[in-house]
Every structure is written in structure tokens, then in C-alpha cells.
Structure 1
Amino acid sequence: MDMITPEPRPCWIAGSPEQGASTIVVTHPFDGSEVATVAVPGPEQVERAVAAAVRVAGEFRRSPAHVRAAALDHVSRRIAERADELAEVITAENGKPLKWADAEVRRAVSVFRIAAEEARKFSGGELQRLDTDPSGDGRLAMTRRVPRGPVLGIAPFNFPLNLVAHKVAPSLAVGAPIIIKPAPRTPLSALILGEILAETDLPEGAFSVLPLGNAETSALVADPRLPVVSFTGSGPVGWSLADAAPRKHVVLELGGNAAAVVLRDWPDIEGAAHRIATFGNYQAGQSCIAVQRVIVDSAVADEFVPALLEAVEAQRTGDPYDTEVDVGPVVDEAAAERIVAWVDEAVASGAKLLTGGARAGATVQPTLLTDVPVTAKAWSEEIFGPVLAVSIVDGVDAAFAAVNDSAYGLQAGVFTRDVHIAFYAATELEVGGVIIGDVPSFRADQMTYGGVKGSGVGREGVLAAMTDLTEERVTVFTGIDL
């Protein structure tokens, strides 16, 4: 599929395509080949996008639910119709294997469908009688939720379509204009989404897609006309954005070093090993909930570790357009160099390298470590690469303590069939989500999603995000005969 066009791919300013003041070149992570050239808007265009979002905010907030729902339904259908094209674009700009790109497109279809469904029924309000005290006689309160205002959505490179969808769909569902800022490495999926949004009857200014650099994005974060900032990306960048906008409503979906716990009662050790190997290496490990730490009860370690090694070594690397390939490149060679350096540091500190540990260009071999010191970066930090680190512990309490001994807390997976342990895990594990009987990498797009500690603040998932993007207001009616 030839993605190079005679003119740069246009950005979207208040719903209209425009060429920019400059350009960026998008390259394929696997071989560095040029994929496309993209228009980068200048200051005057960015100003028009912001001004249009502010201007349309009141009209869009008051728009009928069926209008917003119809637009979201249209986007869902069109993504499905262009699924093959979008999957190839994701693979081209991001480098993830085509089978994972296909899965991402299917999820984006669901996100917009779910948002359309929620838009039709979202109110977030209730009636409350106030005559529980004499001063409230004849009074009734009605609460409802309204958008906080225009949204700045900043998306990462690792899911260039679906994590953009998780910014755009909830915003449009509640009637909040959104300015989406895709990652500079992976803007193409977001720009195609702009094409699809432009086919709807959304009002001018309801959306813009601005492929900007860091300096220009910082100016948008500071702009008081954009009261909501929704950011997904690295911890240092996310916290710096929050510090730069202390009076804004900021949603941060940051990093993790997700743990999978395998306990002695789990009946299918080989199956657990396969799931952990798959979801430690899917997206080349470039997912905030990819398995990184593997915590295994000593009672099953002798069976589990060899099974995990076999499953890791079965992961195929290579050209991500090959449908048989499981693990593609990471985002660039610099990231690959860092990942291998962290593996080398762990080995130098006493860890055992069972397989992998090398790279070819930006492709890192699926890697398995054991006996990793807790101070090594491969254990304590988010490696964001296809690396699994195994720790063997004695019993449930030791396993859960190991999970919690982390600066992050996004999701954890616990392989157990014991319902008492499952509820104990839900209570004791310091994470935003606990997945029982599977890896921490499971996410359904309608479910509440987000972390604690260094993994961020706020929640996504379509309905959770719609609630987070709105604020509660109350109206009191007087002289009501209750």
C-alpha cells in the first residue's frame, strides 16, 4: 500500500483539511523507510482551531443526544469499512505486527459504537428531595452533568488509533469540542480519523487534529481556553504537564510495570505461560499493561519457568507485515538500545538471561530474565519492550507484596481459581484494575481503566471518561408539592 501522496497529508483545523506551515516525515520503525509526509500547522492555524473550539462549545453542549450519537455511529461504521487500510497504516507508522494492528482497528470500531450508545442515555443526574429538614420543605434538587469545556487530548504512539479514539469518542459523546494532538511519530491514523469525522454533521470546531511538536503542545496545555487536558504517555512528561496546568482538570494515563501472578492452585500452568509470553511480547512490549514482572509461587515454579521459556522462544520476530510475525520492532533504534542496556544492567547485577537480550536494528529479541534484583531497571521501571522478568516467591502474601512493591499501579493479573484469593487480591493489590484468571493486559473498551501511584490520575473507558469530562451541576426547585 503506497501511503506517499503528492502533497503532505493535511492536518484538520476546526473540521477542515489544511496544509501546514511545515512538515514532518513519518518513517517505518522496522526498516526506516519513508511512509508519508504530514502537514504541521503553524501558530495562526493552531489559534483558529482553539478559537473555533471555544466558539462552538455552547452550541455543541446543547446539541441533541441523537445528533452526537449519529455522528459516533457513522465513525464506527466507517472505521469498520476502512479496517484493512487503517491496519496497514498502523503497521506502517507504528511497526506493530499486522495482526495486532487489525485488533486495534476492531477495538476502535467498538469504542465509537459504545460511545454512540452511551451518548443516547447519558445524563449523570438524579432527583433529590430536600425536605429531610424543615428548611427544605417544598424543595427538590435536580443534578445533571455538563461538559467542563473544550478538551485537549494528547495521544501516544503505541496505539495510534485506539488511544486517539478513547480521547475523541467520549468528548464528542458529551458534547465537548476536542483538539487531538497525536504523537509526532504516528499521526497518520489520527488524520484518517479526521477524514471520517469530517463526513459527519458535527459543527465546525467540534474537532481538530494537530500534529504538533513538544513546544507547541506545551503552549496548548497552558492555554486557559482549554480547561481539560487528557494525556496518555510517559510519566515524566505527564507529571510535567500537570505541574504546568495546576488549575485545569488533568487526566493522566501513564506508565506501569504490570505484574502477572501465578499461584499454586492454577490448574493450567502451560496455558498461563502461553498467555504471559504472548502479552509480554505483544506490541513489542509497548503497552502500559504488557506483562513485565512475572511473580510465581515456588510450588509451581519448576513447571512454570520451562513452560514460559518455551513460549517466549516461540514468539516470532520479523517484518510486521508478515501475518505470522508476533513481535515487530519497537518505536526506534534508540528505544531498542535502551531496552538492551537495561537487560545488560540486570545481568551485570546478578540476573540470569534465559533467552533473548539482543537486537537487530529496532527489533529486540523476546527476552526472559530470572533472579532480577528489585533495584534493576528491568524490574523496577517500565521497560516498554519485549522483556519478561521472573521472581519466585512463597505464597500469596509474598506474591501480593511483590506486586505492590512498585512505583506504579495500573493493572495486575492473578492466575487463581480460589474465589477467596480473588477477593483478597481485589482488596490488597495497589492497582487500578485486577484481572483474575488472566494477564494484566486485558482491557475491554467499555470498562473503567486507569491507575494509582505513578500510573496516573483519572479514569478512561468510555462511560468513565464521559463522567470525568463533565461536572455536576444542581438546580433547586422551590414550591414543589412532594
Structure 2
Amino acid sequence: MSTTYGHLIAGKIRTGGDAFDVTNPYDGRVVGQAHYLTEAETEEAIATTAAALPATRALSAAARAAALDAIYHGLEARADEFAEVISAENGKPIMWAKGEVARGISTFRWAAEEARRFSGDLQRLDTDSSAAGRMAIIRRFPRGAVLGISPFNFPLNLVAHKIAPAIAAGAPILLKPAPKTPLSALLLGEIIAETDLPPGAVTIAIVPDARMSEVVADPRLPVVSFTGSERVGWMIKGAVPNKHVTLELGGNAAAIIAPDYDDLEWAAQRIATFGNYQAGQSCIGVQRVLVPRSAYDGFAALLVEKVAALKTGDPADPEVVVGPVIDDAAADRIEGWISEAVAGGADLLTGGERDGRTIAPTVLANAADDAKVLTEEVFGPVLTLVPYDTLDDAFELVNASRFGLQVGIFTRDLQVAYTAHRELEVGGVVIGDVPSFRADQMPYGGVKASGVGREGLRSAMDDFTEERVLVLTGLDL
């Protein structure tokens, strides 16, 4: 008998609406049951979230931080349970699921710290004689209730990146998790329900996709924070031009081996691992590997060796690194793109086989410039090798992409790092490692087709709030 997980509405856990099964992508077994909101429950969820704004806005820094502390302690106490749920509903190997739980804990812990120091600024205004005796206090207040929409690939930590900054900033939030992987979010709701947050401060519920356009358009939710596909993200932004919308979308991240870099063994291992972790279902997973032509053959052999050694299979096996992709449609698409690239002249150096929803980690070379494995986001375990002549050429290849999320550069040259930071049109440049590195407190997001706005605790708090100025007059400064 599978466990039934309930919504969090008005501070209480409850079930209702049409039930549906959540299945394991690897073997298809039912791992839990959740419910879609009814039309009446959807209205209640929006109304209670919006109505909570006065109470959440008035919460002291101590109260916000205490709630966030309680959540991360609750996650710590149930870490193994959360890892098992993530792995079961997502197909993520247990080793990566445990890492996601650790990051979720860190995200709420950082949010508690940010809540304590979310103080504002003080400005003297008597720098001009006409403003003698005046001072300004600038604080940030919530723009309103937030609609958070999270994806399937990180069903706990990307939920945390919506909820934690909202609590820290005093903004109520309605969080809609991905229907394919809702259980981790609903389980988190059980912990949040035990805090002293006002009813409606956090709502976690699954709205049917057919009703989401109405929810996105609802004026009672003036902030929309979306993480997911490029197509849906820009559609949301276009549909609600008067709302404050943040988008964390896709990418086809590049890892560059700079000419000066000599530890190719390390680089190959890191690229092999982080081109295939989460079965490649990470927007900053390595996809394009740019290598100096002089080192290309040797590095290609190293990379193929490392990729072929990655263990694939049952995500419950602690030694498995690469599990299944989320569903048959994803597996069909990835398999099709690999076949299309090979038909267009690409060399298949390793992988490419499919077993159910598991795609063997794949390395391609000599793909056509317009091949989807280079120009689009594969979101699967596929690496494509590209030689280059000069570092300027490599930078041009990065900037030629319509995406701009993160890039990793294996170099020991400080000037290369500074130049890359200035010249590359991306949200983040990682030196000495893969683009897949993310610390949860740092600003994170992209440019161009990769989105607008930034996640990371303080950055998201800024996105959820706006400045309000208080001018004091008649002071003896």
C-alpha cells in the first residue's frame, strides 16, 4: 500500500481532489499517492496565501529565522526518509538524492541567517544643504504573495529555493511542485505545518496543469518564480507582463579545457561525472566540452574511459551514478537526438544504448554545428566534444549559444579567469571546475534564453521584495 501525501493549505495537511499515483521512473512501481486540487480548493489556496501577507510581512526577524531553523532541523532529523522519497519518485541515484537533501538543509539554514540580517540601509540626506536635518531609511518589503513553480529534477532543493527566501523576506508563497515528483515537496509541508508560521504563509499544493494559466494570471499572486522549461517560462512571462516574474530556465553548459591546463585526468573525471549526474537532468550539467585541438585526441580518450566506467542502473543501488531519465518521452527525445546527430555525421565514441528509461552515458564527437546536441538543451546523459584553436574561439562558441547560464573553465591562469568573467555572456563562470558547481547562497541564474532574475537566498529575497523609503525630517545630525 503506497503512502498518501496531503496538501499544505492554511497551515494544515489535508487530502482532497482527484488522486493520482506517483511512480518510480526506473521500474514503474507506485511509490506514493497525491491529489490535485479541486477548483474550490484552488480558490481557497490562492485566497489563504494572499490573505496571509499582513501577518507574514509583520513577522519579526526572530520569528522568520526560528521557523527556518525549525525546518532545517526537521529536514536533518528525517534526512534518510527524504533521500529515499527523492530517489523513488525521481529515479535519482541514492548517492545524489542524499546530496540533494544536504543542500536542502543548507538552503534553509542560509535563509535563517539571511532573515536575521535583512535590515535595509541608512542614508544621510544632508549631503545637499537643501536637505539639512533629513535622513532616509530604506527597507525592503514583499511585493505581495508569491506563486512558486518548481521542476521535477530537484524535487526538494528547488522547492527550498522558492519557499526559504519567501519566508525569510516575509512573503507568503503558494508552491506548485511538478506533478511527476510532488512527494518531496508535500513531505516538506509536514515539517512546515509544525512551525509557528501564520496560516497561509506557505501553501504547497498540486494544481492541475489545465488550471495553471488561471492561477498564473490571478492578480492576488503578483510575483511568479518559475524554474523549468524554456518554452513554459517565456510563455508565463508573456502572459503576465504586469507581474514581477523570475525565470530560471535551461542551458547547454560548456566546460572549457584551457591551453594552460595540465591535469587532464581530473578534468576528464569531473566532466564525465557532471555531464551524467542526475542522468544529465541538470540545467548546468556539462553538455559541450571545448578542448584545444593540440590536446583533443588525448583528452577524448580520457573522457571516454571515465564516462564508460560510470555505473548505471537501479537508483537504489548506492554505487549507481547514472539512473533513468524521468519518463518515456524524455528517453525517446534523447535517443532521437543522439541518432539524429550520428546520422548527421557525428561519431559515437561511447554509450548511446537505451534500456527502458536509462540512456547509457554518451560521448559524441564531430557533431554538425546545427545538431540539437550542441544547440539545444539535451537534459540527458550526453556529452559532445568540440575542438578549438584559440581561447578566443572557445569564448565565441560559448557566446554563440542562445543560452547563458554557467560555464566552467579548467585553467590556472588568473588573467584567463578575469577575461572570461568579463567577456562570457553567462550568469556564472566557474574556474578550475565544471559549470555544474552551485553554492546555494550565491546568486544563481542566467541571461538570454536561460532566464531573468537570480536565485540564491539573498538574491531571491531581493526579487520577492521592493525598496520602500522612509524620510525622517528635522533631525539634529
Is 2:307 the partner of 1:312? Answer: yes
Shift >3 Å, 4+ stretches: none
| Stretch moving more, 305-314 or 204-213 | 204-213
AA of the residue aligned to 1:306: A
Is 2:84 the partner of 1:88? Answer: yes
Provide the residue aligned with 1:54 in structure 2: 50
Q: How does 1:268-347 map to 2 (within 5 A)?
A: 268-347=263-342
Provide the residue aligned with 1:154 in structure 2: 149
Q: Return the offset for 1:405.
A: 1.1
Provide the residue aligned with 1:435 in structure 2: 430
- Give a deviation string over 1:200-249, Cα, whole Å, max 9, x none: 11111111111122122221110000010000000000000111111001
% identity of equivalent residues: 59
TM-score, with length taken from structure 2: 0.99
- Are the equivalent residues in 2 in contact too, given 1:13–1:46 (CA < 8 A)? no
Provide the residue aligned with 1:204 in structure 2: 199
Is 2:352 the partner of 1:357? Answer: yes
TM-score, with length taken from structure 1: 0.98
Secondary structure at 1:80's aligned position in 2?
helix
AA of the residue aligned to 2:213: S
AA of the residue aligned to 1:153: G
Q: How does 1:52-451 map to 2 (within 5 A)?
A: 52-123=48-119, 125-451=120-446
Unaligned runs of 5+ in 1: none
- Give a deviation string over 1:387-436, Cα, whole Å, max 9, x none: 00000001210111111110100000000000001100101111000000
Secondary structure at 1:127's aligned position in 2?
strand
Secondary structure at 2:276's aligned position in 1?
helix
Q: Return the offset for 1:302.
A: 2.4
AA of the residue aligned to 2:182: P
Q: How many residues align?
A: 477
Of 452, 463, 472, the residue aligned with 1:468 is: 463
CA–CA distance in structure 2, aligned partners of residues 343 and 276 of structure 1: 19
CA–CA distance in structure 1, aligned partners of residues 194 and 127 of structure 2: 51
Unaligned runs of 5+ in 2: none
AA of the residue aligned to 2:254: A
CA–CA distance in structure 1, aligned partners of residues 198 and 283 of structure 2: 34
Q: Return the offset for 1:184.
A: 0.3
Q: Return the offset for 1:137.
A: 2.3
CA–CA distance in structure 1, aligned partners of residues 10 and 362 of structure 2: 45
| Stretch moving more, 439-448 or 41-50 | 41-50
Secondary structure at 1:24's aligned position in 2?
strand
CA–CA distance in structure 1, aligned partners of residues 297 and 347 of structure 2: 16
Secondary structure at 1:354's aligned position in 2?
strand
Provide the residue aligned with 2:22 in structure 1: 26
CA–CA distance in structure 2, aligned partners of residues 127 and 430 of structure 1: 34
Secondary structure at 1:260's aligned position in 2?
strand
- Are the equivalent residues in 1 in contact too, given 2:268–2:302 (CA < 8 A)? yes
Of 13, 18, 21, the residue aligned with 1:17 is: 13
- Are the equivalent residues in 2 in contact too, given 1:87–1:105 (CA < 8 A)? yes
AA of the residue aligned to 1:100: W
Q: Return the offset for 1:265.
A: 1.0
Q: Return the offset for 1:477.
A: 1.3
Is 2:37 the partner of 1:41? Answer: yes
- Are the equivalent residues in 2 in contact too, given 1:340–1:364 (CA < 8 A)? yes
AA of the residue aligned to 1:235: E
AA of the residue aligned to 1:476: V
CA–CA distance in structure 2, aligned partners of residues 332 and 161 of structure 1: 19
| Stretch moving more, 157-166 or 51-60 | 51-60
CA–CA distance in structure 2, aligned partners of residues 478 and 449 of structure 1: 39
CA–CA distance in structure 1, aligned partners of residues 155 and 183 of structure 2: 8
AA of the residue aligned to 1:322: D
- Are the equivalent residues in 2 in contact too, given 1:263–1:395 (CA < 8 A)? no
- Are the equivalent residues in 1 in contact too, given 2:259–2:391 (CA < 8 A)? no
Q: CA RMSD in A?
A: 1.0
AA of the residue aligned to 2:147: L
